[in-house]
Amino acid sequence: MVLELENVQYTTWAELFKIHARSHRVLHHIIPSVLVLLSPSMDEEKDMWITPDATVLQWIYATISQDLLHTILELDSTAEQAWTRLRGIFQDNRHSAIMEDFHNYHGRFS
């Protein structure tokens, strides 16, 4: 995504940029307060989780349409949260379509 003045989508661009920076462990270069979170006192297990999670989140966002991206994008989201939001969109729609087909089919024989 390229940030353009004519098509202002700063919030979306900023969140995607922060995810990319987080996946490379350089977020502190644009948000200095993050240094507190990245200090040596941080739990090592959490530190090991943050980077791969940002990578997976990038994969999700890079493989969906802009409309879906704008629908599911939330600040400071995890890959699991994004995945769950997408699943909810498609599983709920699928369930609704199945129920509609069932009612249409059943109605023909009543």
In a domain, 67, yes or no: yes
- Cα–Cα dist 6/3, whole Å: 9
pLDDT at 71: 92
Position 107 scores a pLDDT of 61
Predicted model pTM: 0.61
Inter-residue contact 10 to 18 (CB < 8 Å): no
Question: What is the per-residue pLDDT across 21-79, written as a single tens digit (0 to 9) for each?
Answer: 989 888 887 887 655 555 555 667 777 788 888 998 999 999 898 889 999 999 989 89
Q: Which domain holds residue 89?
A: 10-108
Q: Is residue 91 part of a domain?
A: yes
**pLDDT tier for residue 94 given thresholds of 50, 70 and 90:** low
Q: What pLDDT is attached to residue 46? A: 75
CA distance 97 to 103: 10
Looking at residue 40, the DSSP 8-state letter turns out to be T
Counting the structural domains of the chain, the total is 1
Asked, for residue 22, whether it belongs to a domain, the answer is yes
